[in-house]
Amino acid sequence: MTPKAASITTVAEAFFEACETGKGWEVCSAYCRPNATFSAQAEPLADVKTLAEYTEWMKGILTVLPDAHYEVRSFATDIERNNVAAYGIFYGTHTREGGPVPPTGRRVATDYVYVMQFEGDKIAHMTKIWNAGLALKDLGWA
């Protein structure tokens, strides 16, 4: 692995872990440009336009799904395009207040991909690829 590949891979791994464990922007910001943007073609995230907003959204989800955890299935660095893609499965059970409905006790196992676009050694943009409709249905939220 080239030094550049090692650098952005290390940053992406640290960001991914912080984001997926609900550390929020306070911790995640260390790995990102201050104005890092976010996009997803997923209804629950339609109004989320910055990575700061997304990391705070994830922090909130972990309060509603307190047993939430993830499994990394693939982590790939594309030096030519200066990005890192992470594929994982997110698991959780809706047992606490805070979702769109009272706690359902239902579980979700949902596939997703983050594509983290770098400028230098910081994330400038992240796209989340996720079938939110199926996840919300599994949780009893749709």
5 pLDDT exceeds 90?
no
Contact, 115 vs 126, CB < 8 A?
yes
Q: What is the three-class DSSP state of 2? A: coil
Q: Which residue has the higher pLDDT, 1 or 66?
A: 66
Contact, 107 vs 92, CB < 8 A?
yes
pLDDT (mean) for 113-117: 98
The predicted model scores a pTM of: 0.95
Phi–psi pair at 61, nearest 5 degrees: -60, -35
9 pLDDT exceeds 80?
yes
pLDDT (mean) for 8-34: 97
6 pLDDT exceeds 90?
no
Contact, 41 vs 47, CB < 8 A?
no
Distance CA(55)–CA(28), nearest Å, equals 7
CATH of region 3-139: 3.10.450.50
How do strand 32-40 and strand 122-130 relate by DSSP bridges?
parallel
Contact, 140 vs 51, CB < 8 A?
no
